[in-house]
Structure 1
């Protein structure tokens, strides 16, 4: 066969291209109105208002204060990705090897945070980490420290709180990948004399890489644009680029410069996504599914 097929198979039915387009039209219209149009307008202002210029982008990429914010954003996003990966893989492995009530409890524990407001979870971390919060009281009560530690409004607090919020986005892809690995592979490796560590290193972990790479990419990109948690947990001292954009729009009323910051972030996200896809060859995983 040659050429593009005129019909698509979905759920046992054939849909013409016109029917497929009609089914996708509500989503496409919503995406255009709520995302593409506002983003395009903001980028247009950054490039053409008050006149065609790249001065806003030059300012964003050369002034030290904005460079520090961008580097901090990248550092926090990378730290959150690494921490969520370290926490998520063992949990996903336990979920993949569980069944019945235990699996239901584990899945509910992962999904429940998604049903809770990010704002509520962020305020919960503020209660835990504040000067007279639960963590400091436990440390003082255990004799580890004699006075309250400064836990809130630090980069570590931001990383911890963001990791808690974004953990489900790492657990679920890894769980899906691990769930698809036949148990026979593990038994076959042990029958051939492989130790548990060798089985993990040579069989289990490589087969889980599609879920690991998907989860890392998703968490990293979400962390780059996170707003509520860094603004409340980190404060002005740990400002990230999303908070900076909000400040430029709401306080400075500098829409053109805010658009330039968004443009820089968008360009970096696209660059990371393309580089990530080429590095790990996600198209190979998708094509073999």
Structure 2
């Protein structure tokens, strides 16, 4: 017993390293900051959720009726949905909306990618600022004004009527104008993604003998794929809900779902307009969810070889 007590007294107490104490204090500080951030954001998020949910419930209420009335409570009826789902015109309008949205999103990203790359590669501050102003200044102009400008350019006596004759009041003219309208929104996510590239990664690939096309296909595109997916999502969502540009440039020949909703509201067909709005919202959310899924699959495929090389010690 005496020897055991002496050994216990002589054994020094084990103290945790100093950096562990500092790390614990840092983690507590970060947790406190996170709780403060959540508390500040919670009222705004709650307000938006309440407004969004109220609008969705109101649209559902209007869609399950057939009366032309603004009353909040009306007899429940599935006639509007039956009429909508059996109408071939609505299916054709929905297909046109999705086709135009997909084409505008792809074309806008194809044009925005080299523009975003050039904006980041320019070294002179005044030239970079001038290019930024030229790219993003159209946002300051109304969409209606820009649409009328494209109408003047595509008109019979316009500057672009020769090479692009016959595009006015047809789908190609609508797509062209929408690409111009949505182009700044496609550039913003790409700028953020390109800025996050590791420094010197392309130069290192060039030193190892990779061609420009190989660098673009194997390094630049996989690393910036989140920005590409975000640009596609943003442009597609803005395009399928666009109303002014398809109405003006389409001239009634290019019918999209947002325009059909507006026309039904004008004709006091509120149940049909509500049902069409819900269909547009559901289809748009489904397409955006598909984009998210594709982005995650692309990210997993890109990280798998790197993880395998890291585990092998390469």
Q: Please report the TM-score for the alignment, with normalisation by the length of structure 1.
A: 0.83
CA spacing shift, 1:204–1:15, aligned 2, 3 Å: closer
Aligned to 1:104: 129
The question of whether the paired residues in 1 share the 8 Å contact of 2:122 and 2:128 is answered with: yes
The question of whether the paired residues in 2 share the 8 Å contact of 1:73 and 1:240 is answered with: yes
**Structure 2 stretches of 5 or more lacking a match?**
1-27, 67-73, 304-314
Aligned to 1:205: 221
The question of whether the paired residues in 1 share the 8 Å contact of 2:154 and 2:165 is answered with: no
Aligned to 1:38: 55
Larger CA Rg, structure 1 vs 2: 2
Q: CA deviation at 1:160?
A: 0.5
Q: Write the distance in 2 (CA, Å) between the matches of 1:30 and 1:203.
A: 39
The reply on whether 1:29 has 2:44 as its aligned counterpart is no
The reply on whether 1:271 has 2:286 as its aligned counterpart is yes
Q: Write the distance in 1 (CA, Å) between the matches of 2:41 and 2:237.
A: 28
The reply on whether 1:14 has 2:33 as its aligned counterpart is yes
Q: CA RMSD in A?
A: 2.6
Aligned to 1:127: 152
The question of whether the paired residues in 2 share the 8 Å contact of 1:80 and 1:162 is answered with: yes
Q: Write the distance in 2 (CA, Å) between the matches of 1:216 and 1:43.
A: 29
**Structure 1 stretches of 5 or more lacking a match?**
1-6
The question of whether the paired residues in 1 share the 8 Å contact of 2:190 and 2:231 is answered with: yes
Give the SS at the match of 1:135: coil
The reply on whether 1:61 has 2:85 as its aligned counterpart is yes
Aligned to 1:239: 255
Aligned to 1:88: 112
What per-residue deviation string (whole Å, max 9, x for no partner) do you get for residues 240-289 of structure 1? 10000000011x2111111110111111122122222222218969xx9x
Aligned to 2:269: 254
Give the SS at the match of 2:64: helix
Q: Write the distance in 2 (CA, Å) between the matches of 1:282 and 1:107.
A: 33
Query: Which stretch has the larger CA shift, 118-127 or 179-188?
Result: 179-188
**Number of aligned positions between the proteins:** 266
Q: Write the distance in 2 (CA, Å) between the matches of 1:115 and 1:125.
A: 16
**Matching of residues 146-157 of structure 1 within 5 Å:** 149-157=165-173
The question of whether the paired residues in 2 share the 8 Å contact of 1:227 and 1:242 is answered with: yes
What per-residue deviation string (whole Å, max 9, x for no partner) do you get for residues 4-37 of structure 1? xxx9959xx73646x844554256436644x442
Q: Write the distance in 1 (CA, Å) between the matches of 2:159 and 2:297.
A: 43
Q: Which of the residues 71, 74, 83 maps onto 2:95?
A: 71
Aligned to 2:18: none
Q: CA deviation at 1:178?
A: 1.1
